[in-house]
Amino acid sequence: MAILKVKKMQRLIGNKILVRSIVTFITVFLFNSCGKTYIEKSRDEYSPEDVDPIVFSVTGPLTVYQTDTRDYEIGYSRAGSSWSWSVEGAEIAGISEDTKRASVFFRDKPSNDTVYLTVSETTSGGVKSPDTVIKVKVIEFCVLEIQNFTGLFDCNESGYHTYQVNFRKDPVLSNTILNDNFWDWPGPGQVVRYTLSGDFLETVTVPKQTFIFGDGITGWVEGNGTYKGCSHTMVVDYTVFYDGNLYQTHHEFSPAVK
Amino acid sequence: MKRLFLLIFLSACFGTISPHTKFITVDEDTVALGASRHRIDLSGNSDIKILDSAPGDQASLSKVPSASIKEFNKLTLSVSTIDEKSLKKVNAGSVFSALSGKSPGLIVLNPSGEPGKLPSISLRGSSQLTASQFPLIILDGAILEGTLNDINADDIESVEVMRGPAASALYGSRGGNGVIEIKTLSGNLLQEGKTEILFRNEYGINRAAGKYNPAIHHAYRLAGDQSQFNFTKYEGVTYPDGYTGTMPGFSGTRTDEDDQYMDNAYAALFDHEDLVLPGNDFLTNYISAGANLGKFNYMASFENHMQSGILSETNGFRRNSFRVNFDYRIIPELTVSATNLYVRSKTEVPGGVGATSSEIFMNTLLLSPDADITVKNPDGQPFNFIPDAWTPFVINPLYLLRKIENETERNRFAGTYRAKLVLMDLLNIEALYSFQYLTTGKSIYAPYDTYTLSDSMPVYSHGSLSLTNSSLLSGNAMLSASISREFGDITAGARLCYLLEKMSFSSDSRYGEAFSRPGTRSFDDLTINKSEDNFEKKINSNYITGLFYAWYREKYLLDGAFCYSGTSLSDYDGRWHPWMRISAAYRLTQDFEIPGVNEMRLRMAFGTAGYRPGFQNQFEVFSVSSGNMLRTWMGNSLLKPSLSREFEAGLNIDFLDRFSFEIVRSVNSTRDQTLLMTLPAQSGELINQVMNSGRMTVKSWEASLKADVIKTKYLDYSLTLVVDRIRQKITKLDVPPFRPALPGEQEYMSFYFREGETPGAMYGYSWVRSLEEMKNQLAVSDLPSTWWDDSSIDSYVVNSDGYVIVKGTEGTTSEIPVKKNDTSGMPLFSKIGDSNPNFRIWLSNSLSFNGIGIYALLEWKNGGDIYNRTAQNLAGHKRLGMMDQFRNPDFLKKAIPYYMEFYDNNSFNDFWVEDGSYLKLRELALFYEFPAPMLKDFSKGYVKSLKLSLTARNIFTLTNYSGYDPEVLATDSYNYYAYDYAGYPHCKSYSLSVELKF
């Protein structure tokens, strides 16, 4: 009888140990196998507020002309982010729907000054980046008004001397003027035609054209140069063909002192 | 009063007396006793006679109350015996699958679900550095040669696992990896005068155990009118009229969106994994008939086994086996027995060459999700060769599966013939001869109209044919004598044995390309690149073995063995080698009574065994190229088998009447490994030589607990817990560190062999994961800084994935993880992982109630890293599921360049090292045995038993591993390298089995 009791007790103890061992093992099995990967754990501990934004890339010109409207664009993408733009000394003409691109209009800025374009990013978690300030140099620029390049101009010809020429508007072509005293030696009624670009490049083109010189010899002239819309000056380099020879000529035009 | 008897299981020369020896105590009132194969005559109670393997006139075991028999295995060594009942709790297609979780120290790894593919088996870790870890297999007393797939699990009576060199010392130069001995069924298991017929039919289905789920979104810009088309229309691409998305002809280039998030939808989605891996069925029909007619008994069986795997267009593995075993007792002292086996099997390798290059499985994952792989080719052939014109390098896996045949057909004849003579009840003499004749024919055939790529355009390859035929003939001849005797309190025995082992193998291979015309399969019709190879080898080995045992008053057990073996695999200088074992056990409970403890035994053993070098290693090898003969391998006449020395100590406790616990510590050191070395330049043109070099030390802890938790008339519940922890290290390497394969074999390049290192350690680059780490390499950072201060830690943050990046770049295309650098500022190449698990645990549960039973086997592998090359390769092709950002919240989105940095042009780095821990429900079986009275009424006594089983295998795996399955290994030799590259996915299966006995 006593032996039976001992055996029963042993069984009970055995069962308890066994059941606990099995439960422990299975718990450890599951716990150990249910762990997460390094990336999963990292992601679990990560929140939208942890994204630390910096506006690290903006594309757009750092030098602009007065009156220009230029686009500035964020050079990267970040899901859920939006960007805020502001400018000092110019105005935001428009912002794209995704806020990544801003159009800046520089008309009102005085010439040869700097505009400060400021942009910041706000992430999907509401975190705002530090402001990124872009310094934009504004170059003077006056819209071409062709009448400013008509009338008497002093022409300083390299290796010769300064003499006066009279520019008048071409009756047909826009932004084109006619010089009636080229080389200070035109044949009767002879003019040289200059075309001004009218854009920020402010270039002058003298298309190749026949020219009768003061001695009646027919040659040709061709050239290019630049002009300044604000100062009404013009610098042109020519190739001139006269009497079987080519000549290089440089002219600097400025309004004649009245 | 109890009597102690000795049963000697004589199998072959190798069959150790000790492991097979059972001591049986018999209660005085027992009138008869039988044990599985052997019967004991108890007539007269005082004169007990062993009639080994001889069917006699005694009462059978079934008539003896089990409580009256106490049986304990000799435990001086680590030998696990797995009986038929344990093996067949779950029906298994292969006996090796059935071994999983049955013995501590026995690791069965199924690297894939490929039908006919053998699992990798190792005992107590990997003692070989580069050679196979596969243990020696003994089938019915003879060494098994060739593939092991011919063994049919239904025919198995028992399996004995000798876990280490100490246990397998008798196997000499073949025992270094341990030994698994398999015995097949025979008629003497039946009650005398009984005939039994058994039918078992099993039908089941396979499904892929998991899916990779590649990305189903992309980052390309879509055309504005995409919604009007059924194919994915990209911006910047001009499509021809009538374009359907399955052909080339478009012009232009698709470009990524600015954010490069893979979150744009394809116009169509096809589940290529479902199409290529739909799952198939499997079937086993088994019939056996056996009878015990007293002097003569027999067992004959036939099996038809078909395992189709899960691949489309591939039949998988077929096997038919026919077996006849019989024993005939000519006179009471002389018994002859024979086992005869014929097996015919056929294996189809998926997609021909694709099987070895992983092309089938990798391509399945690389295909764009909108690629329809079911449409026909322009020439009418099924399955378009290039289903996605955007990825012309990805060949349709269905096309390869259908078009290219790769078949292996085997025929095996095997027989074992034995005569056993018992003289004067003391001396046993046994003679055994066994043979195996195995022919194998392998063909890989690509028909004339098989497409190939030429300048990225599909053209007919004109086909190719590869034929390999081989034959293997092996024979074992053995003569042994054993004797046992009692000397007062001492019982002692000994055995002497001689074994001659011969094996010859020959093969011829032919290969050629470009058939002269369509529709032919003749080698003579091939026109280019024809080649022919022949190979022949003959191996002779001799073994002289002896063993002795002695025990004193059931208390002190002593066992010793020696083996002197010679093999032609070594030249004369290294041919003959001695091997030995000495072991002892002390049964404490014979001296001390410990409350609750039924049996406690301490044991220790020391033994040696070896592993033979390969056949060709002793010879010089020449290659012929353009008529020039060049020596490429230098022979080594000094080569000898590796030498494993193992010391083990164990404790066995049986307690509380129903628990049985074992714990074993083993230390095995294997020196003189056979390693392939590249010789220094001064040796001229001889570049490779196999040498004896290096030492591997394996230390293991093994434990098992078996418990009969509940044992009543109606309810039985038992469980077995098996645990092992294995640590292995290269303790000596006489050569510079090297990688375990020839350069160019990319898959192994992350694994290093170096002294002091663990085989299975992975090497590569790694990524900075904390700002602390980043601080240490700021000064030597080679990051191309532009807008941030690369010398300030404030310029860095840890991103949502836990990697250090430049602050402010998270979620953008500029988000780039930082590689760890060494002190010189160069990327640090260091250890990044270890394939070896911390430990493994198997828990098997068996519950039965009134004929209804349930069996479950759980396997838990803790730790052990896997290198997921599949995922890395998918990342490089923008197909990795992780890269799909569609479901990610904004703050977790990552752009393609971020993942490309981890892809790192396929260089090994720790991003792709994953934890391979898993908990797997490996087997789950529910069965019902109809009550005998019901069957008797129903069948008028003809049907003895009827059993229905529902079995599920691999149906549940809990793991963090992102691949198909965390059960991964490189090859059988490098089974400690967990390297995953698009292999045949693992299967889960469900089956119904009906077993009838008449």
| B692 burial type by CB count under 10 A (0-12 exposed, 13-18 middle, 19+ buried) | buried
Q: Do B259 and A22 touch (CB under 8 A)?
A: no
**A75 touching B, CB under 8 A?**
no
- Lowest pLDDT segment from A52-66, B563-577, B776-790: B776-790
Q: Is the pLDDT of residue B796 over 90?
A: yes
**A27 touching B, CB under 8 A?**
no
Q: Average the pLDDT over B17-21 and give the result.
A: 37
Which residue type occupies B976?
Y
Element (H, E) at B775: helix B771-776
Taking contacts as CB-CB distances below 8 angstroms, the residues of chain B near A53 are: 808, 810
Other C-beta atoms lying within 10 Å of the C-beta of residue A215? 9
Q: Do B801 and A48 touch (CB under 8 A)?
A: no
Q: Do A57 and B787 touch (CB under 8 A)?
A: yes
Give me the residue from B596, B802, B890 closest to A79, CB to CB: B890
Give me the residue from A46, A48, A79 closest to B261, CB to CB: A79
CA distances from B840 to A171, B101, B646, B959 (A): 98, 10, 21, 14
Element (H, E) at A119: strand A113-122
The CA distance from B619 to B38, in Å, is: 48
B774: closest CA of chain A, how far (Å): 17
Question: B718, B805, B812, B838: best mutation site toward chain A, by most A Cβ within 10 Å?
Answer: B812
**A208 touching B, CB under 8 A?**
no
Q: What is the pLDDT of residues A125-158, one digit of tens each?
A: 999 999 999 999 888 888 899 999 999 999 999 9
Residue that has been written with the tokens 């003896």 in this structure: B64
Question: B800, B805, B868, B958: best mutation site toward chain A, by most A Cβ within 10 Å?
Answer: B800
Percent of chain A with pLDDT over 70: 84
Please answer whether residues B806 and B788 qualify as being in contact, where contact means their C-beta atoms are separated by less than 8 angstroms: yes
Q: Do A15 and B797 touch (CB under 8 A)?
A: no
Closest residue of chain B to A15, computed from CA coordinates: B709
The CA distance from A250 to A256, in Å, is: 18
Taking contacts as CB-CB distances below 8 angstroms, the residues of chain B near A127 are: none
Question: A38, A59, A123, A124: best mutation site toward chain B, by most B Cβ within 10 Å?
Answer: A38
Which residue type occupies A212?
I
CA distances from B17 to B40, B560, B644, B760, B876 (A): 18, 10, 21, 37, 58
The CA distance from B962 to B954, in Å, is: 16
- Lowest pLDDT segment from B36-45, B217-226, B494-503, B609-618: B36-45
Residues 1-20 of A with CB under 8 A from B: 7, 10-11, 13-15, 18
pLDDT confidence tier of residue B288, bands split at 50, 70 and 90: very high
b/e code A76-91 from CB counts within 10 Å (16+ = b): bbbbebebbbebebbe
Taking contacts as CB-CB distances below 8 angstroms, the residues of chain A near B917 are: 32-33, 35
pLDDT of residue A16: 67
Q: What is the pLDDT of residues B809-863, one digit of tens each?
A: 999 999 999 999 988 888 998 899 999 999 999 999 999 998 899 999 999 999 9
Considering chain A, what is the average pLDDT of its residues?
88
Q: Is the pLDDT of residue B59 over 70?
A: no
Q: At what angle do helices B896-903 and B869-876 cross, to 10 degrees?
A: 130
For residue B97, the SS3 value is: helix
Q: What is the pLDDT of residues A14-44, one digit of tens each?
A: 566 666 766 676 666 666 656 788 999 999 9
Q: What is the pLDDT of residues A229-244, one digit of tens each?
A: 989 999 999 999 999 9
Q: Do B807 and A76 touch (CB under 8 A)?
A: no
Q: Do B801 and A42 touch (CB under 8 A)?
A: yes
**A37 touching B, CB under 8 A?**
yes
pLDDT confidence tier of residue A108, bands split at 50, 70 and 90: low
Taking contacts as CB-CB distances below 8 angstroms, the residues of chain B near A25 are: 721, 841, 843
B806: closest CA of chain A, how far (Å): 10
Taking contacts as CB-CB distances below 8 angstroms, the residues of chain A near B793 are: none
Q: Is the pLDDT of residue B71 over 60?
A: no
Q: Do B890 and A80 touch (CB under 8 A)?
A: yes
Give me the residue from B808, B889, B959 closest to A33, CB to CB: B959
Q: Do B917 and A35 touch (CB under 8 A)?
A: yes
Taking contacts as CB-CB distances below 8 angstroms, the residues of chain A near B812 are: 76-78
Please answer whether residues B271 and B261 qualify as being in contact, where contact means their C-beta atoms are separated by less than 8 angstroms: no
Residue B99 is encoded by which pair of tokens? 């071994």
Considering chain B, what is the average pLDDT of its residues?
84
Taking contacts as CB-CB distances below 8 angstroms, the residues of chain B near A5 are: none
Taking contacts as CB-CB distances below 8 angstroms, the residues of chain B near A11 are: 656-657
A251's CB contacts (< 8 A; 6+ apart) are A155, A156, A157, A158, A225, A234, A235, A236, A237, A238
Q: Do A35 and B960 touch (CB under 8 A)?
A: yes
- Lowest pLDDT segment from A202-211, B110-119, B336-345, B970-979: B970-979
Q: Do B958 and A30 touch (CB under 8 A)?
A: yes
**A73 touching B, CB under 8 A?**
no
pTM here is 0.86
Closest C-alpha to B799, from A42, A159, A119: A42
B656: closest CA of chain A, how far (Å): 6
Backbone angles phi and psi of B855, in degrees to 5: -135, 135
Give me the residue from A10, A77, A125 closest to B891, CB to CB: A125
pLDDT of residue B880: 95
The CA distance from B104 to B163, in Å, is: 8
Q: Do B656 and A14 touch (CB under 8 A)?
A: yes
Residue B328 is encoded by which pair of tokens? 């005939």
Q: Do A34 and B958 touch (CB under 8 A)?
A: yes
Backbone angles phi and psi of B904, in degrees to 5: 55, 40
B919: closest CA of chain A, how far (Å): 6
B959: closest CA of chain A, how far (Å): 6
**A257 touching B, CB under 8 A?**
no
pLDDT of residue A29: 61
